[in-house]
Structure 1
Amino acid sequence: MTTLYTPDSSHLLRYIGEIELGKIIVGQELYLQLCNLKEDFHNDEYIYNTDGANIRMNFMENCVRLTKSPFYNKPMVLMLWQKALIECFYSFKLAKESMDRGMWIDRFKKLLLLIARKNTKSETSSALALSEFVCGNEGSDIVASSNDDAQASIVFDAIDTMRQLIDPDDLDSKRNQRFILNKNSNTKIFKLSDRTKNKEGRNIDFAIVDETHEMKENIIGKSIEQSQSLKDNPKFINITTEGFVEDGYLDQELEKARRVIFKEDDGPAAKRLLPWLYTQDSEEEVWQDRSSWVKSNPTLGIVKKWGYLDEQIDVARSSKADRIFVLSKDFNIKQASVESWLNTEDYMYESVFDLEEFRGSFALAGVDMSETNDLTALTLLMMKPDDSTKYLYTMYFMPEAKLKDGNNDKNAGAKYKEWANDRLITVHEGNDIDLSFVADYIYQVFADYNIRLYKVGYDQRFSRAFINRMRDYGWEKKSEDYDGDLVLVLQNAETLDNAMKLLESDLRTQNANYNENPVCRWCFGNTAIKVNDKGQGLAIKKTPQGRIDGSVSKIIAYEMFRRYRTEFKELIGK
């Protein structure tokens, strides 16, 4: 006898009904997919049977305990979207195949769940995996997978913690170094990552692949799918946020998913894929319509906090690195990992000063050293008592050969001859520059203006000549045992992220006076920001011809300010 499903008996239909009534807000992509699924209730290719889904959801709500604070050891209470998703994934059956085989054959083999961070994706999928471990087929192999072992461990360890809360004495299950074992059914759960050897030759029934946005290639996904080829009802769950990898595995999977959603692909593989995408309809609505945030955050107000997202949006408004990261991770809006760092209006403002104003004062400095035949930049950072403005005096250095027309970076907008004539660039004879001249210039500023250097940050590359000459003038290198004047600054996002954000903020609020230096403006315009998977930014070139030395020297000077802010302000009498 065929069951007639209604919103009273189907979580999926109830979810669709709540959305259509306007009680739940979702993005256009998910809504279109749900409309497709609603139509499929009337498609003779499929039979809808919720028995398997209900068994798993009953186990999850009646046996599983949560693993993370502030919900640790509390019963799992599934939200409607979770129930709708799980029910849908397990309940659509292939009518003809099921009749021919005399057993239920699930329609969906593969699920792509795109959902913003901190929306219980790992906890939900871990609990579902544990339900398979207990309620699924005997002798099953279940895998928790990701790009690296640490990420794969998040789901694997969550499953094991849930297991321990149910079976604390290991009466029915146990964990060893290789896997988690169900003693009664011989079902195993193990990890699989890019580092795992012998990815082939496995026999996987149920797989969770976490954070696929990090994967450049389809190595893990393909090996899992191949291992499932003999299974009647394999399950492959891809859970992820958006990321920064261009043309990677996730981009390929999302392209397939969107062809399904927009009915551009109705092939055999497309029919077995369930796309479930929590996405925004535009970037503009993120900034203008707070209520739209639930489109990518279905747990908002229940698990994920409104206040947290308010804070993230506030930070993202003032920092390009944070904007890229927040839009990607909290709103599933694809971002290139490399974008222009500053808008023109961020640094095109009038503000000048004279070094004479700082006679007898102190300065911090940043030096970006280049190859000896290229542009090098020195930035002095100075401040006045009772004035929060950072005054940035930058001198550039280059060899005479660089001024030749054939080697002028003209295509990138460089005007080296003009800038040299305006004494914004110090030119040295020959084909290369002796970086000790940078130290000479620092000493000359001291001799002419009595501006005393407190700390100078430098880039390790090509720094030997600079350090040796600085020592000749009496400045010493910082070490573990000596708090010297010369401070090595590693050129990576982890080190320079905060300084870069501080400089960006000061430029946007016109709290950084760089003396309207046109070379600095050129460097600002050439600077892009590359964001890593932690949301930390690093200055890089937009193009190979563009120079960013002035930007980098300022960021290094700001890193000196960030590290020695208190001592520096005491010196200048703030």
Structure 2
Amino acid sequence: MTYIEEYYNKIISNEIIACKRIKQAYSMLVDKLHNPGKYDPWIFDEELANRPIEFIETFCKQAQGELGGALKLELFQKAKHQAVFGFVHKETGFRQYQEVLDIRGRKNGKTTELAADETFMLVGDGEGSPECYIIATKLDQSKKGFNECYKMIQQSPDLNKHLKKRKSDIYCPFNYGTIQALASNSNGLDGLNSHMVTIDELAAIKNRDIYDLMKQSMSSRRQPLLDCITTNGFIRGSIFDAQYEYACKVLDGKVKDDRFLAFIYELDDKDEWDKEEMWIKANPGLGPIKKIEFLRDCVNKAKEDPAFKATVMVKDFNMKENSASAWLRWDELNNEAVFDIREMGFRYGIGCFDLAETTDLASAKILCMKRDDPGIYVIQKYFVPQEKLNNEETNKEEDSVPYKLWEQQGLLRVCPGNKINKYDILEWFKEVRDTYDIYIPWIGYDPWHVDDSLLQTFKDEFGSESMIPVRQGVYTLSFPMKELKADLIADRINYNNNPIDKWCLSNMEIKTDINGNIQPIKGVDNRKRIDGGVSLIIGYVVFLDKLSEYENMI
């Protein structure tokens, strides 16, 4: 019996409690073992499947705890290695899977496992001049994995005899191979010829450029491997979210990708977080690798400390959150409902906009309702200067968000030059009014950024009583923000699953006075934009103030 089958049998018998995504993965893998004809030209070679396991348990030694002790893989690790290395092309014998995404809770043996895999791919994979890379956002982070490799090799007499540490790499003389640590700002990434790329903590990668670059660097290898092992993280809209979504589509059968394999260890429901028997769903190494007593202490602390709970949910149970200090949790702000404005028949809407800095991001919205429908529907448009899109490097460092993609999707309007043209926002309101026949009786705005000329132009177009100033501060914003939060939690607000709205809402933090009144702030990271959230709050101030009149209109 293979380790894949052994692990799967323990899952279906409930000897091992597993989440939906792991059941999907191993159900597929067992089906491939039992029905190879369905998956032609891929077959399972048990000898190749066991080769990395035997190498790791024979030659790799403990670099932490019991120094020099034998490194023994747990059943879930052996099953994974058989899956990754065992399925090959029936004619060439080269591996099927070239990319692996492994999401598991922290302290489940990720770094040690990756160090062992890097060493195997350097020495035992039969590749000439293999280039193996450990990747992270910052070099100090990638060096942690590199140093784990080196310490593991030092503790092994057999490996230490043959592998040499040089200034910037570990070198294997008999096949000219190397292991090297790299970061997103390293020079010369374009010229790499990668055999294995390891990304430890993909969720910490702020932009996807380094991922894309390293994946493309494997194109000339016979059987390369990109291995990402990570926990969830607080950065939303990142490469992690994109890969997670892609993995779910593959597991659900919505996307066919014979070269991609995903292992997602997570809770199936957030309500399982305080049920000990469910913890193994996100922590496959619970017990022999990760101590249950430590996790129990973390959960108990989280029950008394809401800020720490967010960390436990994300890092121990792989639940999606945005920030421990955010105004809204991810599950509170996330609404994937969509609508087609052309089919809704809106007749009246409440406008709002937030200009912020003219060199930055600006947001405009129209809030609409229909008779006998409690939903509040948000039509939106974002504005950004052309110069910001042109300066790719600045954008990567500042925001790490796909402005150009959003422009292509029609979510973002680009203003020529290096400043936002305030009158473009006026033109957008006019376009929505004239295209969809939506009358806009009121438009809320922050008077700090609106000069008399712009204000008069809006009044000339929408009426002398149309413009409603909304001053920023707890007195004006606190109650509407609390109402807005309640309606977001209730999924009453349909913002058409707009990713920029989600990004801005997830970035927003709050400042609270001694009376419990709140107002929005960016927090310590000034790169995080909140303009879309601020414009929605401005709109909600007007919405609540004019609600009776608005309901009479619709």
TM-score, reference length from structure 1: 0.58
Amino acid at match of 1:131: F
Q: 1:211 aligns with which of 172, 194, 201?
A: 201
Q: Could you list the per-position Cα deviations for residues 477-519 of structure 1 after superposition, in whole angstroms to 9, with x for gaps in the alignment?
A: xxxxxxxxxxxxxxxxxxxx9xx9xx99xxxxxxxxx9xx7xx
Q: Could you list the per-position Cα deviations for residues 7-34 of structure 1 after superposition, in whole angstroms to 9, with x for gaps in the alignment?
A: x2x1111110111111111111111111
Is 1:105 paired with 2:94?
yes
Q: 1:19 aligns with which of 11, 29, 39?
A: 11
1:145 match: secondary structure: strand
Change (3 A) 1:313 1:187: same
Cα distance in 1 for partners of 2:96, 2:328 equals 46
Partner of 2:476: 414
Is 1:296 paired with 2:282?
yes
Residues 319-338 of structure 1: pairs in structure 2 closer than 5 A: 319-337=305-323
Structure exhibiting the larger radius of gyration computed from Cα positions: 1
Q: 1:159 aligns with which of 129, 149, 162?
A: 149
Is 1:147 paired with 2:142?
no
The answer on whether the counterparts of 2:68 and 2:156 sit within 8 Å (CA) in structure 1 is no
Change (3 A) 1:541 1:226: closer
Deviation at 1:414, TM superposition (A): 2.4
Is 1:271 paired with 2:258?
yes
Which structure 2 segments of 5+ residues have no match? Answer: 330-466, 479-508, 526-530, 539-554
Partner of 1:35: 27
Amino acid at match of 1:31: K
Amino acid at match of 2:297: E
The answer on whether the counterparts of 1:339 and 1:529 sit within 8 Å (CA) in structure 2 is no
Cα distance in 1 for partners of 2:472, 2:14 equals 57
1:414 match: secondary structure: helix
The answer on whether the counterparts of 1:210 and 1:238 sit within 8 Å (CA) in structure 2 is yes
Cα distance in 2 for partners of 1:341, 1:169 equals 50
Cα distance in 2 for partners of 1:330, 1:531 equals 25
Q: CA RMSD in A?
A: 3.2
Partner of 2:107: 118
Q: 1:255 aligns with which of 245, 248, 254?
A: 245
Partner of 2:61: 65
Residues 478-497 of structure 1: pairs in structure 2 closer than 5 A: none
Cα distance in 1 for partners of 2:20, 2:32 equals 18
Amino acid at match of 1:61: E
Change (3 A) 1:339 1:93: same
Q: Could you list the per-position Cα deviations for residues 79-114 of structure 1 after superposition, in whole angstroms to 9, with x for gaps in the alignment?
A: 00000000000111233xxx2xxx302110000000
1:118 match: secondary structure: coil
Partner of 1:83: 78
The answer on whether the counterparts of 1:117 and 1:329 sit within 8 Å (CA) in structure 2 is yes
Deviation at 1:191, TM superposition (A): 1.2
Amino acid at match of 1:150: D
Change (3 A) 1:410 1:133: closer
The answer on whether the counterparts of 1:123 and 1:158 sit within 8 Å (CA) in structure 2 is yes
Partner of 2:47: 51
Deviation at 1:541, TM superposition (A): 13
Cα distance in 2 for partners of 1:529, 1:323 equals 21
Cα distance in 2 for partners of 1:243, 1:531 equals 18
Residues 182-197 of structure 1: pairs in structure 2 closer than 5 A: 182-197=172-187
Cα distance in 2 for partners of 1:198, 1:108 equals 27
Amino acid at match of 1:149: L
Is 1:238 paired with 2:228?
yes
Worse overlay, 27-36 or 44-53: 44-53
The answer on whether the counterparts of 2:49 and 2:87 sit within 8 Å (CA) in structure 1 is no
Is 1:339 paired with 2:342?
no
Q: Could you list the per-position Cα deviations for residues 199-239 of structure 1 after superposition, in whole angstroms to 9, with x for gaps in the alignment?
A: 11111111111111122322221111111101111111011
Partner of 1:425: none
Cα distance in 1 for partners of 2:108, 2:79 equals 16
Which structure 1 segments of 5+ residues have no match? Answer: 1-7, 343-404, 417-496, 505-513, 533-539, 548-574
Amino acid at match of 2:78: K
Cα distance in 2 for partners of 1:26, 1:175 equals 40
1:65 match: secondary structure: coil
Deviation at 1:242, TM superposition (A): 0.2
Amino acid at match of 2:227: I
TM-score, reference length from structure 2: 0.60
1:331 match: secondary structure: coil
Deviation at 1:340, TM superposition (A): 2.6
Deviation at 1:128, TM superposition (A): 1.3
Deviation at 1:321, TM superposition (A): 2.2
Cα distance in 2 for partners of 1:93, 1:530 equals 50
Cα distance in 2 for partners of 1:227, 1:168 equals 31
Change (3 A) 1:169 1:108: closer
Partner of 2:291: 305
Deviation at 1:292, TM superposition (A): 0.2
2:295 match: secondary structure: helix
Change (3 A) 1:306 1:204: same
Change (3 A) 1:104 1:313: same
Deviation at 1:52, TM superposition (A): 2.2
Partner of 2:273: 286
2:516 match: secondary structure: helix
Residues 431-442 of structure 1: pairs in structure 2 closer than 5 A: none
Change (3 A) 1:73 1:192: same
Q: 1:200 aligns with which of 190, 198, 201?
A: 190
